[in-house]
Chain A
Amino acid sequence: MSTLRDTYEAVIGLEVHAQLMTKSKMFCSCPNEFGAKINTNVCPVCTGQPGSLPTVNRNAIELGVRAAIALNCQIRDESIFARKNYFYPDLPKGYQISQYEKPFCEHGKLTVKLKSGEEKQIGITRIHFEEDAGKNVHAAFGTVVNLNRAGVPLIEIVSEPDMRTSHEAGQYLRALHSILRYGDICDGNMEQGNFRCDANISVRKRGETKFGTKVELKNINSFRFVEKAIDHEIDRQIDLVEKGETIKQQTRTWNSGKNITELMREKESAHDYRYFPDPDLSPLRITKSWQDKVRGAMPEMPEQVRQRFQKDYNLSDYDAGVLTASKELALYYQETVKICSNPKASANWVANELLGRLNAEGKEVYDSPVSAMQLGDLIGRIDQGEISGKIAKTVFEEMFATRKNPADIIKAKGLVQISDTGAIETVIDKVIAANPAQYADYKAGKVKLFAFFVGQVMKETRGQANPGIVNDLVKKKLDS
């Protein structure tokens, strides 16, 4: 398989729909929120009542401009809202307001890091505004339409077909997700469909310049599924070509249960959406001064946070990179440092222990069972000598499993470190008395036995004795 793959090359382009984090919808003042009671966030405009007209939400435009700036796009001073006409029950007006011939920005680029250590630049063809549709809800008595989501603002970010592997596509998507999160442009929640991805995939023999027939993969809702789905699709297409079959232009969907892509529909003829400029909306003007205002108020982007972490917390380039991979993680780390005031230890704990456990469980930072405040508390207890680093790892495991606070676990399990010299001396005396032969050997010059005595003391105290103090006292007792 790997050799066959080597003779082919995949061409991948991604289309991402990102919901904008506005308070209200794109063309009316209804709240933009998830999970409200069915058909409560609606008004004459977003339910398409006769006579209702759209008006543009300036805040949505500003978030779009932020995305355009973050992705190095050229912004048009005048773009056009267009109607995309089609019938579907979740589309109350019979058309979706979108942008077609003149999107608000074009010609951007995004640099992504690959696991090989190399960087690759992916072109952004265009970003345009559009409104979301409602949702068909299938109930026992039939299908109903929930229009709470109808009219929610989206940007569609279309990449150039610059990606060649599923890894590149995955990294592009992660980088894009990160930028939109950092910019407070989109909350990035993939489960709720606030960040959705379609992939266009074709294969060709290496060295060819013409594109093969593309297949569209719809609505893939996690980074890992995107990579898996693309890999599966590439293999499927190579297989077909090898068998001498032609690849049909299709729309397919990823079945995560079966780990295969499945046919949604054949594109025998492309749907005619009869796009035309929406006569209810004037051209969208984004002046230079408006752009400058947005630029001036841009939230920190990942690269800036990375540099700040290196400078303020004295982190290595690598650590800073790991800790700023997502906005959630960077915020988590910052919060941990704020609690314990130990940037170095926080970096180790977050990057190694926390991320390790989360990855093992397939969890994301936002659903971590251990909060930043709890982790900072734990690190603080090590620094204050209440528990040893080794005990702390046991406590952390318990925290991760039970969501309990470190203080409660330490208390319940009696894990408080023994730093009382008197108590430790008593244990040392007991250990020496119990091991007269070893004591004699030590005295006779077998100094290596020092470690044996330390180990016995730690064993006696079930690891709770402060190792530094134990070392000092054992030495003192043996040599006295």
Chain B
Amino acid sequence: MMEFNQLDMRSLLEGYQKKQFTVTEVVQASLKAIDLKNPKLNALLEVNAEKALTRARALDADISKASEKKLFGVPIAIKDNILVKDWQCTAGSKILEGYRAPYTATTVQRLEAEGAVIIGKANCDEFAMGSSNETSHYGSCRNPWDLERVPGGSSGGSAAAVAAGMCPASLGTDTGGSIRQPASLCGLVGLKPSYGRVSRYGVVSYASSLDQVGPFSRTVWDCARLLEVLSGADKKDATTSHLEVPPYAARLQESSLSQVTLGVAPQWLQGVDADVKEAFDRSIEQMKKEGAKIVEIDLPRTRYSLSVYYLIAPSEASSNLARYDGVHYGFRAKEFKDSEQLYNRSRGQGFGKEVKLRIMLGTYALSAGYYDAFYLKANQVRRLIQQDFEAAFQKCDAVLVPTSPSTAFKLGEKTDDPLKMYLSDIFTLPVNLAGLPGVSVPCGLDKKNLPIGLQLIGRPFEELKLLQIAQAHEKIQGVLRLP
């Protein structure tokens, strides 16, 4: 039997068109890989073999039309903070334990319309707050490259599922690095689109002005194909852009490295692990050799990103998470005297520590008397960070930086020190604050045989350019194998 689960998405699509195998065979292989690996990895929180196989058989009946659908027969895992009708949607929290989605997110609708098969709901940090998947109420997820280590977060389950060969693609969400950092730690391609490129309808809101949905895949082409399906205006999300969506995958080869200028900010590279720095430098050298022009840029005010992010995101979260109150749905405390106690106990027992920490932070930042000094000021600095990038993009087409300062760390290594944990997103946060597209691509392994990620940051809505550069880089590096 062919190891279908070792194939990337494009190979699957080609195989279907050549009638080399059926969707049912591929889905069965996925389910087998899940059975085998999920008990150790805890990547998927819900799997529905019957649903997936029913869908596979329906697609097989139409397999002659495989070429008409962009994601025909592709098994995809969906992060558990994205709603799929009748599937659970816990967002990794106890407060949504047992909650069944009453409707389907726009992004998932689009995937299904193009023939994708939903294979499972992926583990994640509680309400996407975390960088290691350790804040999930449903247990940590582990890194397929080293089971002692974290897959990154918050979309840890989505990354681990693809890296473990359970499925060739998955959906994650990225508010401060939650797609790119786990992609980096698991050796995958992970893209955070420009703010407004992809609909947020049906995505459990964490920080509305920063959240975006994006894909995990093994190759740049797969990423491009997924992005073109996900992108575009949605009348259910007022923050989506009406800009046209280019056929990303078809246009990947249009540009070569000799036509691009890449920006590197030296001050960003201090404090980066030696192995990471080395791999990063090697990538730069390789691209330079292929004709890319490298320029130094300055992003002086991005050093405030962490402070700005941890005011804006918690502020929005404190309001977004108010709806989980034990009244209408989800977890409700068993005993309470009155509505006040119903709120306090349901929320007190239903939310985890990190979520409570951020709710308190955000509530404080929005309070009368503090609003101007914290929330408003943070938004002003956010605009300055945007301006830094605008200035940089006068000189270059994309900014290059390691996705994360280190490779995958051990479980428990950073859980006692929130600030240490927050620092693993230091290179990804500014991108969300500026609303830019960012993609993490593998750029080698460190001495411990752990993947290293390179992040490319582009101008707003220039995902195509970004993917073209990523494609050229992949050509040099080769596609990273699965662990």
Contact = CB atoms under 8 A, between A and B. Distances in A.
Interface of A: 44, 47-56, 83, 85, 87, 89, 92-95, 145, 272, 274-276, 279-282
A55 B199 CA distance: 13
A95 B208 contact: no
Given A52-B201, A87-B343, A92 B316 contact: no
A50 B325 CA distance: 12
11 contacts: A44-B102, A48-B328, A49-B83, A51-B89, A52-B201, A53-B201, A53-B236, A94-B322, A145-B327, A281-B239, A282-B239
Given A48-B328, A49-B329, A53-B200, A94 B236 contact: no
Contact of B238 (A47, A52, A54, A274): A54
A276 B375 contact: yes
B323 A51 contact: no
Interface in B322-340: 322-323, 325, 327-329, 339
A327 B343 CA distance: 46
Given A53-B201, A274-B363, A279 B316 contact: yes
B440 interface: no
Most B CB within 10 A of own CB, among A56, A92, A280: A280
Contacts of B83: 49-51
A94 B208 CA distance: 15
Nearest to B327: A89
Which secondary structure dominates where chain B touches chain A?
A: loop
Given A50-B323, A87-B343, 16 more contacts: A49-B102, A50-B89, A51-B89, A51-B105, A51-B200, A51-B201, A85-B322, A145-B327, A272-B368, A274-B319, A276-B371, A279-B239, A279-B316, A280-B205, A281-B239, A282-B238
Contacts of A48: 323, 328
Contacts of A279: 207-209, 239, 316
Given A50-B204, A93-B322, A93-B323, A44 B103 contact: yes
Interface string B286-328: 0000000000000000000000000000011011011101011
Interface in B2-19: none
A272 B367 contact: yes
A51 B205 contact: yes
A271 to B, nearest CB: 10
B237 interface: yes
A282 to B, nearest CB: 6
A280 B319 contact: no
Nearest to A84: B319
A83 B319 CA distance: 8
Contacts of A89: 327, 339
Given A44-B102, A276-B315, A280-B208, A50 B200 contact: no
Contacts of A55: 235-238
A280 B239 contact: yes
User: Size band of the B side of the interface?
Assistant: 35 or more
A274 B328 contact: no
B122 to A, nearest CB: 16
B238 A51 contact: no
Contacts of A47: 328
Nearest to A81: B238
Given A87-B322, A92-B323, A51 B367 contact: no
Top-10 shortest CB links A-B: A94-B322, A279-B208, A279-B209, A274-B366, A51-B202, A50-B204, A48-B323, A272-B368, A93-B323, A94-B323
Contacts of A49: 83, 102-103, 329
B119 interface: no
Contacts of A94: 319, 321-323, 325
A279 B175 CA distance: 14
B77 to A, nearest CB: 17
Contacts of B203: 51
B290 to A, nearest CB: 41
A95 B319 contact: yes
Contact of A85 (B99, B207, B319): B319
A51 B235 contact: no
Nearest to B321: A94
Contacts of A52: 103, 201-202
Contacts of B163: none
Contacts of B91: 50
Contacts of B236: 53, 55
Contacts of B208: 279-280
Contacts of B368: 272, 274
B82 interface: yes
Given A51-B83, A94-B322, A282-B238, A274 B103 contact: no
A99 to B, nearest CB: 15
A472 B354 CA distance: 101
A54 B323 CA distance: 14
A53 B201 CA distance: 6
Given A85-B319, A89-B327, A94-B322, A281 B238 contact: yes
Nearest to B93: A50
Contacts of B367: 272, 274
A373 B340 CA distance: 55
Contacts of B103: 44, 49, 52
A50 B322 contact: no
B399 interface: no
A25 B385 CA distance: 38
Contacts of A50: 83, 89, 91, 96, 99, 101, 204-205, 323
B204 A51 contact: yes
A61 to B, nearest CB: 13
Given A44-B103, A85-B319, A53 B238 contact: yes
A44 B328 CA distance: 12
Contacts of B82: 51
Interface string B339-366: 1000100000000000000000001001
Contacts of A54: 238
A203 B208 CA distance: 45
A280 B208 CA distance: 6
A93 B96 CA distance: 15
Contact of A280 (B102, B238, B328, B375): B238
Nearest to A45: B236
A53 B211 CA distance: 13
A53 B82 CA distance: 13
B5 to A, nearest CB: 30
B55 to A, nearest CB: 22
Among B99, B103, B363, max chain A CB count under 10 A is at B103
Most buried by B among A48, A93, A276, A282: A276
A52 to B, nearest CB: 7
Contacts of A281: 238-239
B43 to A, nearest CB: 22
